[in-house]
Homo-oligomer: A and B are copies of this chain.
């Protein structure tokens, strides 16, 4: 399968990534889009604004890949040297391009206080052997070279300029140039298995996968995404095979699978609530507002989320959520009676259909021999059901908050 795909490499140019000033999100976005469009990423490389280093990386990339995509290093200032470097590598001459200057003038007219100067005019000088692709949202032109059957493209590093060029010009041109086959991805999300246990559990299934399908494990605190990918000229046949394999996996893992799509749990729960016309509220102690934060990160979450009580102190639990002071004293804040009362009262106070409550010891301090750091009680309730469970996560505060959030959301899914 892999051998059929057109290989692409990304080279990002610029010191700011190497000195840790910015996180390179361009590469991941480009990789996702290229994969979705049927290309294979061979390597991603971040190098300094330094000619020899750029040329060395380009030579190596051309040995491995059919396409090399450069981002960055084509701004107007002196430290941007990609254009000069490519010119001398290909032996090309810089020539003036009228359409680039027109594009820059057009852009500058829409912006206050932007006046053409020598630096911006210099951007209209382009290598004589490249195809110029107009950058409709920025001043630096995109340069497309074809050399010995390979494609080399230089584009801006500014994310929205890069994305505009990739989506509207570069990917369509590459697809048409290489006449690429269709690619299909399916994601199955599994909860409650350590990676190694899951791998053993599905080993026979994995080993028997047809050759046209490849599998990737993508774990992130508590959840493992299994991604099946297939490449074929016969999309219908591939879909049939893919569904067969997912059915088998489903029989193997049962309820450990909580989603058959690549979606966050909070979005999944949000969709489910909206579909059922139900509202949720939360009463959070150890998760400290993270469940509310997860819900409200979703646009339109007011359609299913009414609010949250972040009851971080016993006073809050007793005074606002009316948890029995006797139970708080007798069982402690991290206990079944307390989370059940929190959930039930949040639901009542906010008149929601369902509610979630959490109480636990996130750490690093606060643990006892009976209730060590990582102990968390979670309750979810509806009008006629209450589910509450004790969990033991780990010793890291941030991980405990994230895992308790996931566990709580998945318990809510059970009750819905």
Q: Are B53 and A43 in contact (CB under 8 A)?
A: yes
Q: Is A18 an interface residue (CB 8 A)?
A: yes
**Other-chain contact of A137, B139, B392, B394 (Cβ < 8 Å):** B394
Query: Which chain A residues in 63-116 approach chain B with CB under 8 Å?
Result: 75-79, 107, 110-115
Q: Are B22 and A111 in contact (CB under 8 A)?
A: no
Q: Are B350 and A316 in contact (CB under 8 A)?
A: yes
Q: Are A312 and B320 in contact (CB under 8 A)?
A: no
Q: Are B17 and A297 in contact (CB under 8 A)?
A: no
Q: Is A21 an interface residue (CB 8 A)?
A: yes
How close is A220's CB to chain B, nearest CB, in angstroms? 8
**A310 proximity list for chain B (CB < 8 A):** 282, 289, 292, 296, 307-310
**A369 proximity list for chain B (CB < 8 A):** none
**A313 proximity list for chain B (CB < 8 A):** 302, 306-307, 350
**A288 proximity list for chain B (CB < 8 A):** 292-293, 295-297, 301
How close is A39's CB to chain B, nearest CB, in angstroms? 11
Encode A22-33 as 1/0 by CB contact (under 8 A) with B: 111101111111
How close is A126's CB to chain B, nearest CB, in angstroms? 17
Q: Are B110 and A374 in contact (CB under 8 A)?
A: yes
Encode A207-226 as 1/0 by CB contact (under 8 A) with B: 00000000011111000010
**A23 proximity list for chain B (CB < 8 A):** 23, 25, 28
**A18 proximity list for chain B (CB < 8 A):** 31, 41-44
Query: Which chain A residues in 108-128 approach chain B with CB under 8 Å?
Result: 110-115, 117-120
Query: Which chain A residues in 348-364 approach chain B with CB under 8 Å?
Result: 349-351, 362-364
Given contacts A216-B16, A315-B306, A75 and B195 within 8 Å (CB-CB): yes
- If over half of A's interface residues share one DSSP class (helix, strand or loop), that class is named, otherwise mixed; here it is mixed
**A282 proximity list for chain B (CB < 8 A):** 310
Q: Is A19 an interface residue (CB 8 A)?
A: yes
Report the bound CA distance from A364 to B53 in whole Å. Answer: 41
Given contacts A309-B307, A398-B160, A110 and B392 within 8 Å (CB-CB): yes
Q: Is A299 an interface residue (CB 8 A)?
A: yes
Looking at the complex, which of A172-180, A196-204, A269-277 is the stretch in contact with chain B? Answer: A196-204
Q: What are 5 sample pairs from A and B whose C-beta atoms fall under 8 A apart?
A: A20-B35, A43-B47, A77-B195, A284-B289, A288-B293
Report the bound CA distance from A120 to B349 in whole Å. Answer: 47
The number of times this chain is found in the oligomer is 2
The interface of chain A, by Cβ under 8 A from chain B, is 15-25, 27-36, 41-48, 53, 57, 60, 75-79, 107, 110-115, 117-120, 137, 139, 158, 160, 192, 194-197, 199-200, 216-220, 225, 227, 229, 282, 284, 287-293, 295-297, 299-302, 305-313, 315-316, 319-320, 349-351, 362-365, 372, 374, 391-399, 401
Given contacts A119-B196, A292-B289, A392 and B112 within 8 Å (CB-CB): yes
**A53 proximity list for chain B (CB < 8 A):** 42-43
**Other-chain contact of A197, B19, B115, B306 (Cβ < 8 Å):** B115
**A300 proximity list for chain B (CB < 8 A):** 365
How close is A414's CB to chain B, nearest CB, in angstroms? 17
Report the bound CA distance from A224 to B23 in whole Å. Answer: 15
How close is A132's CB to chain B, nearest CB, in angstroms? 19
How close is A339's CB to chain B, nearest CB, in angstroms? 16
**A372 proximity list for chain B (CB < 8 A):** 110
A-B pairs, top 7 by smallest CB distance, nearest first, are A288-B296, A20-B32, A289-B292, A20-B31, A289-B289, A308-B310, A76-B196
Q: Are A33 and B20 in contact (CB under 8 A)?
A: yes
Which B-chain residue is minimally distant from A25 (CB atoms)? B23
How close is A189's CB to chain B, nearest CB, in angstroms? 12
Q: Are B43 and A32 in contact (CB under 8 A)?
A: no
